[in-house]
A and B are shown apart, each in its own frame.
Chain A
Amino acid sequence: MPGPRLIDDYLAALSADLPGRIVEELADGLDETYHRHLGQSHDPDAAARAAVAEFGEPRVIVAAFTAASRGRKTARRLLAAGPVVGLCWAGVLVSARAWTWPVPVLARALFAVALITVIGLLAAAVLGRHYRLVCRAAAAACVGTALLDTTMACTVLVIAPALLWPVALAVVLSAGRSGFALRNVHHALTG
């Protein structure tokens, strides 16, 4: 959008955090605001200052978009579901004395690291202030959650298929969570 330097700088500040389609929409509104003020003052610089002031600080707008992003919403739901699904699997593992299973230590360690990483990504998506970071963290956490659920379900079904009801409950919950996570990867990524 052609216009005074102040407007360009303002849009550049928004572009640093927000995706192009959102900045394009904001630029359209800012252009309308600028021209309304220009029609009143006939001073391009004064109109640009008034338009920018009326629009609000870029960090406030970015924070509002970040808070409203689908990535954050998805991450909140996954975090809320985590303890429920986790307790179900914990019950299964304790009942089956999982510490006696022939699973290599390295595989156990990798699973633990992956679990901590996914929790960290979800926390970043819920608490992060940068729009792109929140969206990417949420999308990565969605994929990670589905992989962890699948790994856990396959491992338990292969090693301890006898625990019928507890495993069935945990598998159903995990499948539901994985489905939700995978359905929302794209939404989380695009905000």
Chain B
Amino acid sequence: MRAEELKGHLDTLLLAALEDGPRHGYAVMDALRQSTAGRLDLPTGTIYPALHRLEAAGLIAGSWLVVAGRRRRVYQLTAAGEGALSGKRADWRDFAAMMSAALEGAPCPDPA
């Protein structure tokens, strides 16, 4: 999947990649690659500005650690980020169910 197709979903993917615990930028990209079986085709460098944007929005918190004598910026979900991820996940389930119903004739669940 290419970057253009991910517009609007990248933030959710990044939040999900941080759900298991703190990660630095490269580890976030690596987690996304593994969880999507390598189908995510995104320039690694563009992950970092997205992380900074999420940090400015208060959804993740960044801090510097020293690893093997070198400084490394690590991010983790904030309480607001956990709430946002939960909401986005629910929205995605609704959207996916609606699209499956429209495109494949799958049963569409009643809205709660």
Binding site for B on A (CB under 8 A): 22, 24-26, 28-30, 32-33, 54-58, 60-61, 64-65, 67-68, 70, 73, 191
CA distance A67 to B53 in the complex (A): 9
Query: Contact: A56 with B43, CB < 8 Å?
Result: yes
CA distance A28 to B26 in the complex (A): 8
Query: Contact: B70 with A54, CB < 8 Å?
Result: no
Select the residue from A29, A57, A58 with max chain B CB neighbours within 10 A. Answer: A29
Query: Contact: A29 with B43, CB < 8 Å?
Result: no
Tell me the nearest residue of chain B to A52, going by C-beta.
Answer: B45
CA distance A33 to B24 in the complex (A): 13
Determine which of A28, A57, A65 lies in contact with B24 in the assembled complex, contact meaning CB atoms within 8 Å. A28
Known: A26-B45, A60-B45. A70 touches B56 (CB 8 A): yes
Given contacts A29-B25, A67-B49, 4 further A-B contacts (CB under 8 A): A29-B47, A60-B43, A61-B49, A68-B50
- Find chain A residues with CB under 8 A from B26 CB: 28-29, 32-33
Query: Contact: A25 with B25, CB < 8 Å?
Result: yes
Known: A28-B26, A28-B70. A68 touches B53 (CB 8 A): yes
CA distance A25 to B48 in the complex (A): 8
Q: Main SS of the interface on chain A?
A: helix
Determine if B93 is an interface residue (Cβ-Cβ < 8 Å).
no
Determine if B89 is an interface residue (Cβ-Cβ < 8 Å).
no
Determine if B72 is an interface residue (Cβ-Cβ < 8 Å).
yes
Nearest chain A CB to B29 CB, angstrom units: 8
Determine which of A29, A64, A70 lies in contact with B50 in the assembled complex, contact meaning CB atoms within 8 Å. A64
Query: Contact: B71 with A54, CB < 8 Å?
Result: no
CA distance A65 to B47 in the complex (A): 10
CA distance A67 to B46 in the complex (A): 12
CA distance A191 to B56 in the complex (A): 10
